[in-house]
Structure 1
Amino acid sequence: MEQVLKRHRSIWFFLKATLGGIIKNIYGFECEPADPGKGPYLILANHNTDLDPALIALSFPDHMYFVASEHVFRKGFVSWLLKYFFAPISRTKGTTDATAALSVIRTIRQKSNVCLFAEGNRSFNGVTGPIFPATGKLAKATGASLVTYRFEGGYLTLPRWAHSIRKGRMIGRLVHVYTPEELKAMTPEEVNRHIREDIAEDAFDRQCMQPHPLRYRGKGLAEGLENALYFCPKCGKPGTLHSKDDLFFCDCGMSVRYTETGFFEGEDVPFSTVRDWDTWQNGRLKEYIDSLGDDEIAFSDENVKLIGVELGHKSRPLETGKLFITRTVIGVGSHSFPLEKVVSMGLMGTYKMMFSVEGVSYELRTAKNMYCGRKYLTFFQTLYPDRL
């Protein structure tokens, strides 16, 4: 065990020393040196970019382990490298993973630090999402200090829906350190409240607080927006929105320009931000759901792979066909699953989806062209808001 920990720490500090400056330059990242005190500790942070773990590593003096989505363990040799050098803790998206929680507790009790992203997902709209309800209970169960950490500017640097990174400014800072004694005096709900307050971030409110909004420069700034926004506010239809360069437009003629500051511009702009558009979209989705019959298809996409995820991080292709969702089922081709039996659902990246039915996990992956996986996720969450 000591030799394994020594290996993990050695590669950790080697990569920080050799790649840290490059990563900071790519993301325009600035971090305040974090002083969490004596470990072990549990770090909880908001989540915006694929390299958030590396950015947190650059902020803290000590080695730590990260909780990672289960799908990174199904990438062959790459997964072997990750496990050998970093040993991330696996958590399956689209499930309530008690095994991951136990692994976090065990790792911390072995005097190692652990970091997890409390939302479990990157933000699509620039606002920090809800945290898992059991997070506060987990923080108390570790018996360690709880450290909260917040990224600012990460969403506009690399929006989850986008195809490319933008060069601007991103900051990371430690927000608060809660001692084990302080955690003992709180209920799990109180711990959750502190976590939510500490990691809360609104990319657009942050821009409005600046004397002059920061610019995030890049190419194809609007490309991929249809991965987040799928209802047109002018015609009210889903699936008619497209993007090219910095333009986002609908078949009905509605068109806006996504600017370097992250705001929309143009004639008759319906909303100034992705956040506001998304808020309207949530209401429109509820109306749309209410208008559907139980067996009427709400959304569908062709050429989607249904994959069974087995023990030992093994994948088994089941079928490639049309993905569809109704008020009662989600399915691919001849396979269908009652939504009432879906425990929870999650997204990996922009379109890969995972869900669990009666203890069995499934992945949905495009066979050809990318599709908007978020519309299926928000459809499910609107029907079953208590199933994160």
Structure 2
Amino acid sequence: MQPPFLVIGNHAHTMDSFIVSSASPVHIRWVAGAYLFKLFGLRPMLERWIGAISKQQGRSDLFTIRAIGDALKQGDIVGLFPEGTRTWDGEPVGFDQAIAKLVRIFKVPVVVFHLEGFYGLKPRWADKKRKGKVYLRVFPPIMPDSIGEMSVQELHERLLADTGFSYRTWQEKNQLPYVSKKAAEGVEQVLYLCPQCKQASTIVSKGITITCTHCHYSASLDPYDKLLTTQGTHHFDDIAYWHAWERQYIATPDASSLGFPPDRGVLLQTGDEQKLITLERRFTLQMEQAGMRIKSNAGKDLFLAFENIQSMIINAKNTVELYHDNTLYRIRIFKRGCILKYVEMYQAKRKSIEGDQA
């Protein structure tokens, strides 16, 4: 098939775009997070060598849409991850109808791929890589004629189904081991609530063991990413089921009693589309019911109310990037801290606010 066309797929690993490109006989221009273009020395490489297209994650970006359109008109191949972020638990993240609308506008073929086993090789939360096999599966293209025959909703459902790779379903079918003596280490980055005692930020990991420091509930993780409860009565089959329960729980009235201890912050920045300015390197970040509070060692106090946050996403190195009253902030916490809980609490609060306004 001749270019131009779009290349889309699931997102599980930091090196996904490089892995796909290394297996591709043609050059792919990847859509990359805007924060990468702000890192010292990286912007020239992304723009001149790779030809990457900047995308401000979590926000509508007309510049990105125009840049993709221009690249396709020039006969280029553009690659993107419609989910916009790497999976935390191996299950599909999903995306809204905006992607389907773009695909209809561009009127080019769409090639879908699956990165299979990459979550098992190194989950987003994991400290260490495991030993195991991975696969890149490419599917027949969706041609413009077929795209034109579908409504936006039908196309959206088709793209969700085609790109929505489930590691759990794939693993149940293939039963491939991913081996490491430290397979569970780092899981507290995604598991922030104990299912037994309902305490927040009490989960710790060592080796293949996951433990609650409050009630001593514990489970072990096997090479197939299945959980075995070793102490306590509550049981989840895998990390994804545990994580799904967390997201559901923080959206209930019971979550109002949760008390989150402060996390140690290591980098606080603000900035614009071109550069970042460092404000603090020593501070605490704490979840409150109405927002997030930052307290510096020098005594400065900054409160970011959920209702005034326009967008919030997680990018590299345990960092959350958000717009509060249209001001950009990047907040990084220590390596084993859970930045995910802030985003999922924000999403739950925003959903509640939108429901009240409906």
TM-score (norm 2): 0.89
Provide closer, same or farther for how the CA distance between residues 323 and 87 of structure 1 changes in structure 2, counting only shifts above 3 A: same
Asked if 2 retains the 8 angstrom alpha-carbon contact of 1:350 and 1:374, the reply is: no
Query: Whole-Å Cα distance in 1 between the matches of residues 210 and 107 of structure 2?
Result: 49
The 5 Å alignment of 1:304-319 reads 304-312=266-274, 314-319=275-280
The SS at the match of 1:150 is strand
| 1:283 counterpart residue number | 248
Q: Give every structure 1 segment of 4 or more consecutive aligned residues whose post-TM-superposition deviation is greater than 4 Å.
A: 296-299
Shift of 1:326: 2.6
The 5 Å alignment of 1:300-379 reads 300-312=262-274, 314-319=275-280, 320-333=282-295, 334-349=301-316, 351-366=318-333, 370-379=336-345
| 2:227 counterpart residue number | 264
Asked if 2 retains the 8 angstrom alpha-carbon contact of 1:299 and 1:376, the reply is: no
Asked if 1 retains the 8 angstrom alpha-carbon contact of 2:131 and 2:178, the reply is: yes
Query: Whole-Å Cα distance in 1 between the matches of residues 56 and 24 of structure 2?
Result: 26
Query: Whole-Å Cα distance in 2 between the matches of residues 79 and 289 of structure 1?
Result: 45
| 1:171 counterpart residue number | 135
| 2:298 counterpart residue number | none
The SS at the match of 1:168 is coil
| 1:233 counterpart residue number | 195
Query: Whole-Å Cα distance in 2 between the matches of residues 336 and 120 of structure 1?
Result: 27
- Report the AA paired with residue 310 of structure 2: V
The SS at the match of 1:283 is helix
The SS at the match of 1:363 is strand
Provide closer, same or farther for how the CA distance between residues 350 and 243 of structure 1 changes in structure 2, counting only shifts above 3 A: farther
Asked if 1 retains the 8 angstrom alpha-carbon contact of 2:29 and 2:78, the reply is: yes
Query: Whole-Å Cα distance in 2 between the matches of residues 116 and 218 of structure 1?
Result: 31
| 2:208 counterpart residue number | 246
- Report the AA paired with residue 165 of structure 2: E
Shift of 1:378: 0.7
- Report the AA paired with residue 224 of structure 2: T
Provide closer, same or farther for how the CA distance between residues 124 and 94 of structure 1 changes in structure 2, counting only shifts above 3 A: same
Structure 1: gaps spanning 5 or more residues: 1-36
Query: Whole-Å Cα distance in 1 between the matches of residues 16 and 142 of structure 2?
Result: 22
Asked if 2 retains the 8 angstrom alpha-carbon contact of 1:42 and 1:147, the reply is: yes
TM-score (norm 1): 0.83
| 1:220 counterpart residue number | 182
Does structure 1 residue 116 correspond to structure 2 residue 80?
Answer: yes
Asked if 2 retains the 8 angstrom alpha-carbon contact of 1:39 and 1:113, the reply is: yes
Query: Whole-Å Cα distance in 2 between the matches of residues 289 and 69 of structure 1?
Result: 35
The SS at the match of 1:178 is coil
- Report the AA paired with residue 88 of structure 1: A
Structure 2: gaps spanning 5 or more residues: 296-300
The SS at the match of 2:220 is strand
Asked if 1 retains the 8 angstrom alpha-carbon contact of 2:310 and 2:322, the reply is: yes
Query: Whole-Å Cα distance in 2 between the matches of residues 353 and 54 of structure 1?
Result: 23
- Report the AA paired with residue 256 of structure 1: A
Provide closer, same or farther for how the CA distance between residues 113 and 326 of structure 1 changes in structure 2, counting only shifts above 3 A: same
Shift of 1:189: 2.1
The 5 Å alignment of 1:25-40 reads 37-40=1-4
Provide closer, same or farther for how the CA distance between residues 322 and 297 of structure 1 changes in structure 2, counting only shifts above 3 A: farther
Provide closer, same or farther for how the CA distance between residues 280 and 297 of structure 1 changes in structure 2, counting only shifts above 3 A: closer
Query: Whole-Å Cα distance in 1 between the matches of residues 253 and 221 of structure 2?
Result: 27
Identity %: 24
The 5 Å alignment of 1:16-55 reads 37-55=1-19
Shift of 1:214: 0.9
Provide closer, same or farther for how the CA distance between residues 385 and 167 of structure 1 changes in structure 2, counting only shifts above 3 A: farther
| 1:8 counterpart residue number | none
After superposition, give the CA deviation of every residue in 1:157-196 in whole Å (9 maximum; x if it has no partner).
1101101221212111122412222222222222211111
1:145 aligned residue (95, 98, 109):
109
Asked if 1 retains the 8 angstrom alpha-carbon contact of 2:318 and 2:335, the reply is: no
Asked if 1 retains the 8 angstrom alpha-carbon contact of 2:132 and 2:178, the reply is: yes
After superposition, give the CA deviation of every residue in 1:317-371 in whole Å (9 maximum; x if it has no partner).
23442212333233322222332221221111462101123433221113x5542
More contact order relative to length (CA 8 Å, sep ≥ 6): 1
After superposition, give the CA deviation of every residue in 1:199-242 in whole Å (9 maximum; x if it has no partner).
122212222113xx211123411100000111111111011010
The SS at the match of 2:119 is helix
